[in-house]
Structure 1
Amino acid sequence: MQNNANEMAVFNTAIYVRLSKEDIVAAQSGRESNSITNQKQLVLDFLKDKPEFNIVSIRIDDGYTGTNFDRPAFQRMLNDIKAGRINCVVVKDLSRFGREYINSGKYIHRLFPVLGVRLIAINDNIDTITRDESSEFSITLKNLMNDNYSRDISVKVRSQLQVKRKHGDFICPFAPYGYQKCEGNHNRIEPDPYAATVVQDIFNWKIQGMTNNGIAIRLAESGILAPLEYKRHKGEPLFSGFKMKERCEWTAQAVARILTNPIYIGTLRQGLRRRPNYKIKKSIPTEENEWVVIHDAHEPVVTKRTFYLAQKALLIDTRAAPRATTVYPLSGLLECGECGNAVTRSTINNGYKLYSYFRCSVRTKEDRCELKQVPEAQVEAAVLQLLQEHISAVVELDRCLSEIQQVPYQKINVAKCEQRREKLAAEIARYRDLKASLYEDMKEGLISKTDFCDIRGQYDARIADALIAQEQIDRELSIYLSGEQSPNNWMKTFTEHRGLKSLTRAVVLECIEKVVIHKDEKLEIIFEHSEDYARLVSSLQEYAARGILGEAM
């Protein structure tokens, strides 16, 4: 019996050490942090002269929070306990075991006693084998204090991170593909010389008409590493919200994430997701008005114009033919002039050659639109001719502008801006007055509550639109008054294409908003910057009426 008693006095022990995420870089590089080493040494020194403890395992969670127990080493230790291989756990203090009050209490007060597991927290002077009311209270109090500490730290960290976001600091643990962290300041990013050129190619290929899947195929065939593989190649820490494969490949989704990220034009968006509190690991989306957006926060990889054209290409319907990696020049830009629906491209084989034509998508599906099919070659030839004529007209406008005296030109533009602004101000005042009278109308029974809400919403929308228009006019005014002529920089969109010989996807995206096909095969083209064009023609006509154009010429 004495021998059995001695055997029972030996505890199969697991040493558990943990450090939070601030040491994650050391963990990812394969090195243990000094704090982990110190914790281990403290526990080993404590057990050194105590033969009743048989050290079975040392479990380490480096870079894991104590506010939950979803930690790999802790879970392995728990499996050992449930399998009967461990009946004693030793930690430096209770905060290493966990900082979450409820679940820490569940393990210490309920699960461990049922399984016959002894817990020793050295610096807290706690050993559950000598459990009494005083020690129970001490454990509960320390768990509460550890929980409260986590909450306070969480609040302080969130506040500090928000300040850094508003200051324009980059606070993510890793730079997005195409960028790298600056060597002297890890809160700033700069273009990665190699990956930035890949990003530029992705944007250019999209504008030239390639599909996202086509771009992914081309990148893979060119031997260009996917973003996560590139990080592996550079030896950087890997973090991903997506399930990681043994080898990551380029996908259409990965291409789309790059094409839609404004970080490539220097715009830093942070705070898009948040955790409800420090105990919940899963993050949730934040409202857009809560995002922290800093423009020109770092060096862009692509121009704003390139980014805009890529977004336009993504927004319009650009479904490619089966197995095709590019779309046709006019894909997604054609509209039926009879019913307003999309016009699609179809191809038939008449036995000798392929014949491509455009027809209304409604007619194709339901045969109820009057627009008949129109040959693709005919449409493209007409669009090219009309675009060439419009480019010539813009080139002529540019020539006239260069000959106009700048002072009267500036005065007339300022006067026209002020007239437009006054008109908008009157419109805003009118809708505000109408909105103010709505409540009285509802009280008197002239309109229902439902009508009141609907009409008020309409007035609010019109006021908001007018305020946005006013802001645009204010920007134009500041440019005119500063003597710059950048409001007419849009003309370069067309003048750069003088001498155009053929339609390409890039030219179409840059110059054309949409093409409307009518049943008499007449084409109507809405060009980009059509409002700017009309405003400039109106100004030149006014110059001519005042004799300014003649004086300049």
Structure 2
Amino acid sequence: MKQQIYNTALYLRLSRDDELQGESSSITTQRSMLRLYAKEHHLNVIDEYIDDGWSGTNFDRPSFQRMIEDIEAGKINCVVTKDLSRLGRNYIMTGQYTELYFPSHNVRYIAIDDGVDSEKGESEIAPFKNIINEWVARDTSRKVKSAFKTKFAEGAHYSAYAPLGYKKHPDIKGKLLIDDETKWIIEKIFSLAYQGYGSAKITKQLRAEKVPTASWLNFTRYGTFAHIFEGKPESKRYEWTIAHVKAILKSEVYIGNSVHNMQSTVSFKSKKKVRKPESEWFRVENTHEPIIDKEVFYRVQEQIKSRRRQTKEKATPIFAGLVKCADCGWSMRFGTNKANKTPYSYYACSYYGQFGKGNCSMHYIRYDVLYQAVLERLQYWAKAVQQDEEKVLNKIQKVGNAERIREKKKKASTLKKAENRQNEIDRLFAKMYEDRACEKITERNFVMLSSKYQKEQIELEQQITSLREELSKMEQDMIGAEKWIELIKEYSVPKELTAPLLNAMIEKILIHEATTNEDNERIQEIEIYYRFIGKVE
């Protein structure tokens, strides 16, 4: 009888987690075992396929896929592994290969340690082994996440490179230090944003001034990203992108915070990244020295939310993001009236514009009227500071802080109510489970109430997060009178308004609905809330 010739693939796999098991799972140990087995059982070894550093839950491993291609090409009719877990730790996918794919391609499969050999018939224990292997992968994933969460809570930062502006501590793992050679780049980006520049304009300026990118700096220091820069023109070193600038402007790392769990994998089986809701982020404050003032950072975040857009005429309204309706709080939309012989621009309530009568009112104000009113106010304060700086400072501290203290108390009260309600819902959930277990309420009512309370929990979590952020920002602004005086002195008496000037000096402008007096004159109140100090008449 002619003996079957087995053209054999020796498949070896080791992940970072498997390394924890010691030498018994190492590539060297696997290779020695497989070669000895093949020799003793007269298997014709065609090649060794090694995936070092690859998880068993991922079947897109390069050497594994190369082995499959060789099976499809008819080069291989036998696969040998140390055990089933080397083939994979996803019991569904592993089962598809051992029970469907290999048999349909006339491939003999051997898992030495598990006593599996398809030539001897189906192994009844193999499916259970595959399930156990997946359980191990699931448990390992959970333990790794738990370990990282502990490290994150201690303020550790783990990534291949430190964020631009920082460097890794030479002795303390996970600790960031300010990089004096590159922090100026971060300061420049935030300074431009603070003045009202958008990400696109900042990107353009960084390129024009030949500011080096983070990847170029890493290449010069560590030799990484060689494939990006070698043989490329010099301009590649300064090829900033809008996405990169936006990421820097939104990163709390620059105010000394570490924020983790912003994204995760779909599951331990899939490495596809998904963005997590902000309520699930893991934030640890003051983990390292900040580069940017919190006041500057939060101001920039406000500007990002209300980023100005160009009009059809390619003009950028300098008040964009600042002008609000005094009654509904919505932003005022910018428009141009071209019906007259002399066209003019104006602002009107966007909420009214979308939903019409019964939903606020127009709150119409001409652009030139608003421009003149705001310019005169800023000129007044600039002259007052020049004449008697101490008097103005005393006035601002007395009035401005009083306004903010009232607002702070109001928000703190709302936060306390939300937190109390959140605790109450937690207690209600515990009580509901007890009542359901004791059959005091029906399954239908339990499901209905659960859905209702879960929805409220999500809303409360969002409200609490928002209120805490607002209160934190208000704490920073409470000490801003001196800062505002310094800004006034920096800009002196302005002769015209610009977006950087307005964004530096003003927090918001509230436009009230116009009225007419007995003489049929149009009267309209404009409230200006200044940055750092609030509303001061």
Within the alignment, does 1:202 sit opposite 2:189 as a pair? yes
Within the alignment, does 1:331 sit opposite 2:320 as a pair? yes
What are the within-5 Å matches in structure 2 for residues 132-211 of structure 1?
Answer: 132=121, 136-211=123-198
SS in 2 for 1:496: helix
In structure 2, the CA distance between the partners of 1:184 and 1:399, relative to structure 1 (3 Å rule), is same
- Partner residue of 2:296 out of 301, 306, 309: 306
SS in 1 for 2:170: coil
Tell me, in whole angstroms, the C-alpha distance in 1 between the residues paired with 2:525 and 2:371.
Answer: 10
Shift of 1:265: 0.8
Q: Percent identity?
A: 28
Equivalent position amino acid for 2:14 in 1: L
What are the within-5 Å matches in structure 2 for residues 421-500 of structure 1?
Answer: 489-499=479-489, 500=492
Match of 1:514 in 2: 508
Contact 2:336 2:344 in 1 (8 A): yes
What does the per-residue CA deviation read over 1:186-228, in whole Å, with 9 as the maximum and x for residues that have no partner? 3222334444332222211222232211222233344445545
Match of 1:61 in 2: 51
Shift of 1:386: 0.4
In structure 2, the CA distance between the partners of 1:528 and 1:178, relative to structure 1 (3 Å rule), is same
Tell me, in whole angstroms, the C-alpha distance in 1 between the residues paired with 2:221 and 2:78.
Answer: 42
- Partner residue of 1:527 out of 515, 521, 529: 529
Match of 1:297 in 2: 287
What are the within-5 Å matches in structure 2 for residues 41-440 of structure 1?
Answer: 41-47=32-38, 52-55=43-46, 57-129=47-119, 131-132=120-121, 136-224=123-211, 226-228=213-215, 231=218, 234-235=221-222, 249-275=239-265, 277-320=267-310, 327=316, 329-335=318-324, 342-344=332-334, 357-360=345-348, 371=364, 373-375=366-368, 379-390=370-381, 392=384, 395-397=389-391, 400=394
Match of 1:481 in 2: none
Equivalent position amino acid for 2:493 in 1: K
In structure 2, the CA distance between the partners of 1:201 and 1:342, relative to structure 1 (3 Å rule), is same
SS in 1 for 2:49: strand
What does the per-residue CA deviation read over 1:462-491, in whole Å, with 9 as the maximum and x for residues that have no partner? xx89x979x969x98xxxxxxxxx985210
Match of 1:20 in 2: 15
Equivalent position amino acid for 2:507 in 1: E
Shift of 1:258: 1.7
SS in 2 for 1:58: strand
Shift of 1:308: 1.6
Tell me, in whole angstroms, the C-alpha distance in 1 between the residues paired with 2:9 and 2:163.
Answer: 40
Shift of 1:312: 2.0
Shift of 1:323: 10
Contact 1:94 1:143 in 2 (8 A): yes
Match of 2:493 in 1: 501
Tell me, in whole angstroms, the C-alpha distance in 2 between the residues paired with 1:212 and 1:282.
Answer: 28
Equivalent position amino acid for 2:499 in 1: R
Equivalent position amino acid for 2:375 in 1: L
Contact 1:210 1:327 in 2 (8 A): no
Contact 1:23 1:62 in 2 (8 A): no
In structure 2, the CA distance between the partners of 1:180 and 1:118, relative to structure 1 (3 Å rule), is farther
Equivalent position amino acid for 1:20 in 2: S
Equivalent position amino acid for 1:506 in 2: P
Contact 2:109 2:117 in 1 (8 A): yes
Tell me, in whole angstroms, the C-alpha distance in 2 between the residues paired with 1:315 and 1:527.
Answer: 18
Tell me, in whole angstroms, the C-alpha distance in 1 between the residues paired with 2:299 and 2:40.
Answer: 72
Contact 1:338 1:371 in 2 (8 A): no
Contact 1:88 1:117 in 2 (8 A): yes
SS in 2 for 1:90: strand
Tell me, in whole angstroms, the C-alpha distance in 2 between the residues paired with 1:23 and 1:264.
Answer: 36
Shift of 1:138: 4.4
Tell me, in whole angstroms, the C-alpha distance in 2 between the residues paired with 1:403 and 1:81.
Answer: 79
Contact 2:256 2:286 in 1 (8 A): yes
Tell me, in whole angstroms, the C-alpha distance in 1 between the residues paired with 2:73 and 2:40.
Answer: 27
Contact 1:211 1:320 in 2 (8 A): no
Contact 2:8 2:43 in 1 (8 A): no
> Normalised by the size of structure 1, how large is the TM-score?
0.66
- Structure with higher Rg: it is 1
Tell me, in whole angstroms, the C-alpha distance in 2 between the residues paired with 1:78 and 1:123.
Answer: 22
SS in 1 for 2:504: helix
What does the per-residue CA deviation read over 1:166-205, in whole Å, with 9 as the maximum and x for residues that have no partner? 2222244544444343232332223344443322222112
Shift of 1:527: 1.8
SS in 2 for 1:250: coil
In structure 2, the CA distance between the partners of 1:121 and 1:383, relative to structure 1 (3 Å rule), is same
Tell me, in whole angstroms, the C-alpha distance in 2 between the residues paired with 1:295 and 1:185.
Answer: 18
SS in 2 for 1:137: coil
What does the per-residue CA deviation read over 1:298-352, in whole Å, with 9 as the maximum and x for residues that have no partner? 122211122122112212241135797x95543332356799762527699x99x
What does the per-residue CA deviation read over 1:90-141, in whole Å, with 9 as the maximum and x for residues that have no partner? 2233222112223212211222122111223344454433x246xx134344
Shift of 1:496: 0.3
Shift of 1:281: 3.4
Contact 1:209 1:329 in 2 (8 A): no
Contiguous gaps of at least 5 residues in structure 2: 20-24, 226-235, 425-451, 515-521
Tell me, in whole angstroms, the C-alpha distance in 1 between the residues paired with 2:312 and 2:67.
Answer: 53
SS in 1 for 2:488: coil
